[in-house]
């Protein structure tokens, strides 16, 4: 028997039946796009178009159009790359680590969070290609003999590790996400009224029938994929941090980087999930599925990881002083009081102080405040990467080469490109695919729902209002 | 019973608990159940139906070992044998530096190998979108039990009655 613990708050509100879940989620996929969606999509296409022009010019003219100079050789490109990859950590954390921990609240948000992960990693990858300057040479990073001579890539280099880590992470996340989508695509296929959508969803559902044998294997591989993705997600940002930590630049050369970067990644990723979910739940009327309980739980994760990040900042600073290495000390002192002091203090305020406000239950459960803090956290995490990269480089060992970095319009335009790409992809996803994992929500509804109806499988309430006829009546022989 | 081949009795249940309890009851009564189709996984249903435990984990392990060996062989051969390269004063074959890529390729091979095995073993794949279905509601809110009449020696009436008794709200006949 299924038993609900009375101390837990219900995760699904509104006394949903299984048919209600199908109806509520499929409605957005099956209906024609709303006006709001069209406007949002139009805006993101315009943003993407502007960004694409800037990017095209960057590639046509070369990296000289950026504000880089001989001292600051990495700036916004790598800042944006690390920022997007960090954001891309939340989805797999939610779907993999929380699956292993048997956290049922993940079921309402994992689909959208994983989609966000995939799109964020695409944006991150676009900055890798951008900063190569000649993206048509990108295959040189693969283990092929260099210029097809006989020299191979250097497997001791974290940059090569990164190529493997990011591409593995992207493809495994994509597969994990797709496997979770198949049962829901089958649901849409079986409800589809038009030939086109039946064919499209049917093709991608791959003939899913939901037999007990298939489900048993599905659950098994979900568990193994979760087990694999958990160390994978930690390894990716660890390797990203090693791009810095294995160098000899003061401010980068620290052993604390891997855990510090991973915590920061989860921190910013959850903030981005909050931003997207708070909008999605209102636009798609999913308040019964993504409840205050979900928002509060995610805020707790933000506070935890934000505290880890705060401790890491302070530890790093302490060690810079305590180690007695004058260059290391100078790098950190310069961050705090040098010409980029504003970036450092923006980072400290946004990342260390703001998540601590969530200790108040009232603020943690306030939707407006949560949205505000999530934006603040993402700004703070962008500044963190900017501080690490630019302020460590701009004053190197030779005072005559000390300089400042200022972005050109192409630095900014290429960053805008990634936003256009991200929101275009996310809007397409939220229109054409179910934003909540229906099968998983149905599986937990009995143990986590409020006002559970006597017959959970009952007919959807929406149909009683006379909107849509149940499709399956037409299937009778 | 040649006339019964391809003929199925389809019991439609409206609750996951009911169908889970119906399966052992029906099997005890001598009904041979082909399969139960449900909109979400029901824990314990595959065992109740007598399906053997999936061996996909063994396949996953094999793919993982393959990935691990591929990665190590590739790096040792490229950096240590084909063009020995000393970077940062390290030995050309320095295993600790190979750990990240070895790990990544192990995960990559396991994930893809396991998913391909999953598709093949379930007969899933592009182009199979006209899969025979017993009841289209089984991906929405119903739990559908299929009984192959060609493989059962009991009469249709007896099986129908047993299905109704076990809580099925509808019993239909499907011919393929």
C-alpha distance from B160 to closest chain A C-alpha (Å) = 19
B residues 140..159 contacting A (CB < 8 A): 140-143
CB-based contact A443 B57, cutoff 8 Å: no
| A19 at interface of B, judged by CB pairs closer than 8 A | yes
**Mind listing the pLDDT tens digit for each residue in B91-122?**
888 899 999 999 999 999 999 999 999 999 88
ipTM: 0.92
Residue among A207, A221, A456 whose CB faces B131 most closely:
A207
Which regions of chain B are under pLDDT 70?
Answer: 1-3, 129-132
- Cα–chain center distance at A200: 27
Q: Assess if residue A9 is contained within a domain.
A: no
Under an 8 A CB cutoff, do A172 and B82 touch? no
Mutate to test the interface with B, among A210, A448, A458, A472 (most CBs of B within 10 A): A210
Per the domain annotation, does A474 fall within a domain? no
- How far apart are the C-alpha atoms of A437 and A229, rounded to whole Å? 19
Residue-wise pLDDT tens for chain A (477 aa)? 455 555 567 778 777 888 888 888 888 888 888 888 999 999 999 999 999 999 999 999 999 999 999 999 999 999 999 999 999 988 888 888 888 888 888 888 889 999 999 999 999 999 999 999 888 888 888 888 876 667 888 898 899 999 999 999 999 999 999 999 999 999 998 888 888 888 888 888 888 888 899 999 999 999 999 999 999 999 999 999 999 999 888 989 888 999 999 999 999 999 999 999 999 888 888 888 898 889 999 999 999 999 999 999 999 999 999 999 999 999 999 999 999 999 999 999 999 999 999 999 999 999 999 999 999 999 999 999 999 999 999 998 899 999 999 999 999 999 999 999 999 999 999 999 999 999 988 888 877 666 666 566 554 443 333 333 443 333 433
Q: Is B90 touching A (CB cutoff 8 A)?
A: yes
DSSP code of B167?
T
Domains of chain B listed by start with CATH number: 2-53+137-175 (3.30.70), 59-122 (no CATH)
Q: Judge whether A1 lies within some domain.
A: no
Q: Do A187 and B140 touch (CB under 8 A)?
A: yes
B132 DSSP assignment? -
Per-residue pLDDT, B5:
73
CA angle A423, A425, A427 (to 5 degrees): 65
Residue A448: the pLDDT is 65
Whether residue A216 and residue B54 make contact (CB cut-off 8 A), yes or no, is: yes
Q: How far is CA A90 from CA A29, A49, A85, A423, B105, in A?
A: 24, 28, 10, 17, 22
* Measured distance CA(B75)–CA(B94) in Å, rounded: 10
What does each C-alpha distance from A20 to A284, A441, A446, A467 come to in angstroms? 14, 11, 13, 13
> What pTM did the predictor assign?
0.90
Q: Would you state the pLDDT for residue A474?
A: 37
Reference A24, options A187, A180, A186, A181; nearest CA is A187
CA distance B107 to A229: 8
A218 belongs to a structural domain: yes
Q: Which two tokens stand for residue A34?
A: 């709303």
Counting Cα atoms < 13 Å in the Cβ hemisphere of A458 gives 13
Which CATH number does the domain housing residue A193 bear? 1.20.1630.10
Please report whether residue A368 resides in a domain: yes
Give start and end residues of each alpha helix (H) in A3-100: 18-30, 35-61, 76-87, 90-92, 98-100
Is A477 inside a domain boundary?
A: no
Predicted pLDDT of residue A160: 92
Domain limits for position A383: 18-144+152-468
A476 in a structural domain = no
The whole-angstrom distance between B17's CA and the closest CA on chain A is: 8
Structural domain count of chain A? 1
Query: CB-side exposure of A293: number of CA atoms within 13 Å?
Result: 19
CA dist A382 and A373 (Å) reads: 14
Instruction: Tell me the chain A residues in contact with residue B42 when contact means C-beta distances shorter than 8 Å.
Output: 212, 215
In chain B, the percentage of residues whose pLDDT exceeds 70 is 95
Q: How far, CA to CA in Å, does A331 sit from each of A71, A204, A334, A402, A477?
A: 15, 53, 5, 13, 77
User: Cβ of B120 under 8 Å from any chain A Cβ?
Assistant: no
- Give domain status of residue A122, yes or no: yes
């Amino acid at each position: 028997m299924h038993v609900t613990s009375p101390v837990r708050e219900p995760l699904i509100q509104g006394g949903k039946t299984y048919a209600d879940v199908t109806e509520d989620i499929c409605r957005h996929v099956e209906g024609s796009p709303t006006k709001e969606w069209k406007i949002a999509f139009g805006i993101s296409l315009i943003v993407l178009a502007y960004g694409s022009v800037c990017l095209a010019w960057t590639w046509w003219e070369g990296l000289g159009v950026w504000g880089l100079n001989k001292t600051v050789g990495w700036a916004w490109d790598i800042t944006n790359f690390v920022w997007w990859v960090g954001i891309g950590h939340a989805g797999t954390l939610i779907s993999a680590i929380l699956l292993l921990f048997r956290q049922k609240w993940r079921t309402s948000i994992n689909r959208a969070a994983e989609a966000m992960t995939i799109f964020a990693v695409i944006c991150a990858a676009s900055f890798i290609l951008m900063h190569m300057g000649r993206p048509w040479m990108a295959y040189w990073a693969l283990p092929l003999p260099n210029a097809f001579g006989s020299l191979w890539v250097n497997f001791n280099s974290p940059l090569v590790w990164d190529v493997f880590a990011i591409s593995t992470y992207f493809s495994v996340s994509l597969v994990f996400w797709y496997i979770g989508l198949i049962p829901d695509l089958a649901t849409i296929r079986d409800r589809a009224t038009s030939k086109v959508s039946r064919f499209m969803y049917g093709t991608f559902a791959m003939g899913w029938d939901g037999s007990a044998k298939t489900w048993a294997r599905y659950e098994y591989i979900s568990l193994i994929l979760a087990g694999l993705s958990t160390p994978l997600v930690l390894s990716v940002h660890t390797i990203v941090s090693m791009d810095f930590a294995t160098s000899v630049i003061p401010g980068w050369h620290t052993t604390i980087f891997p855990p510090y970067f991973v915590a920061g990644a989860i921190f910013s990723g959850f903030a981005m999930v909050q931003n997207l979910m708070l909008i999605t739940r209102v636009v798609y009327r999913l308040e019964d599925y993504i409840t205050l309980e979900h928002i509060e739980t995610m805020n707790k994760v933000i506070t935890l990881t934000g505290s880890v990040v705060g401790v890491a900042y302070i530890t790093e600073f302490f060690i810079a002083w305590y180690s007695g290495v004058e260059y290391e000390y100078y790098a950190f002192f310069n961050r705090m009081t040098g010409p980029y002091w504003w970036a450092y203090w923006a980072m400290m305020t946004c990342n260390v102080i703001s998540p601590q406000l969530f200790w108040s239950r009232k603020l943690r459960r306030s939707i407006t405040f949560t949205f505000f803090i999530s934006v603040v956290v993402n700004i703070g995490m962008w500044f963190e990467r900017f501080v690490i990269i630019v302020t460590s480089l701009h004053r190197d060992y030779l005072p005559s080469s000390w300089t400042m970095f200022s972005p050109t319009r192409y630095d900014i335009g290429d960053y805008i490109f990634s936003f256009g790409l991200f929101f275009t992809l996310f809007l397409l996803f939220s229109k054409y695919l179910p934003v909540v994992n229906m099968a998983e929500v149905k599986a937990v509804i009995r143990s986590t729902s409020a006002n559970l109806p006597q017959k959970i499988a009952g007919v959807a309430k929406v149909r009683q209002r006379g909107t849509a006829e149940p499709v399956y009546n037409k299937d009778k022989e | 019973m040649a006339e019964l081949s391809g003929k199925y009795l389809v019991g439609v249940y409206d609750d996951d608990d009911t169908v889970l309890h119906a399966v052992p009851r029906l099997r005890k009564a001598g009904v041979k159940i082909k399969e139960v189709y449900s909109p979400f996984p029901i824990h314990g249903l595959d065992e109740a139906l007598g399906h053997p435990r999936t061996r996909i984990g063994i396949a996953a392990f094999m793919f993982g070992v393959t990935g691990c060996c591929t990665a190590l062989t590739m790096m040792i051969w490229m950096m240590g044998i084909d063009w020995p390269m000393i970077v940062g004063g390290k030995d050309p074959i320095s295993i600790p530096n190979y750990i990240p890529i070895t790990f990544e390729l192990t995960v990559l091979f396991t994930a893809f190998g396991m998913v391909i095995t999953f598709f093949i073993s379930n007969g899933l794949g592009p182009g199979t979108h006209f899969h025979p279905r017993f009841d289209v509601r089984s991906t929405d809110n119903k739990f559908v039990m299929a009984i192959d009449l060609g493989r059962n020696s009991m009469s249709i009436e007896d099986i129908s009655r047993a299905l109704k008794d076990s809580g099925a709200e509808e019993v239909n006949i499907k011919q393929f």
